[in-house]
Every structure is written in structure tokens, then in C-alpha cells.
Amino acid sequence: MTPDPRNETVVQQVFCDLPFPAYRWQLIAHASVYGADAVTMSKLHRLPLRRYTHCEDIAATIVATQNVRPRPRRYRPMTIPMNVPQRSLIVSVVVD
């Protein structure tokens, strides 16, 4: 896949004044303050958790993760034990 030149220009505009290296949470916070749209924010949320050294690194990672489908989460069924005795909650209140 060829990198989209618009990705790099948008990344340059949004993160030009951010001090690098920066963590993913800093990128997301900076983009939300900048007023990034929902598509850009979802791209930033898909970035791996690590430190990014410069704008080109962010743009390359966005291109690499753009077409990656998220893994489905596996949910375990919750089992409720039936023979556990119920205990009442005792709360003591001290009034002066």
C-alpha cells in the first residue's frame, strides 16, 4: 500500500508544536485539543502503545495500522455460584 501524502500533511499540521518523543496518550490529548475529527481520533486510538519520536514515525504507523482489523474480543460466560450462603452487610454508624 502506498502511503497517502495527506496523512503526513495532516500529522504535520496537528503535531507541529508537540515536543517529541511523545506517548500515544499525548498524541490523542493533543489532537483532541486541536479539534481533530472522529476519523482522525479513531486512527490515533488504533496506534500501538509506545513512544513516537517524530511526525514521520506517526504518519508511517497510521498507514501501517489503517487496514488492520481489530481482533474480536472473547467474552467468557459469567457463572453465578448457587450454593453460596448470603451474608448481610453490617454497617455501624457512630453518632456524636
Q: Which pLDDT value is given to residue 2? A: 53
Q: Which pLDDT value is given to residue 1? A: 47
Q: Which pLDDT value is given to residue 9? A: 74
C-alpha cell, 12: 504535520
- pLDDT tens-place string over residues 16-45: 788 889 999 999 999 888 888 888 888 888
Task: Give 81's pLDDT tier (boundaries 50, 70, 90).
Answer: low
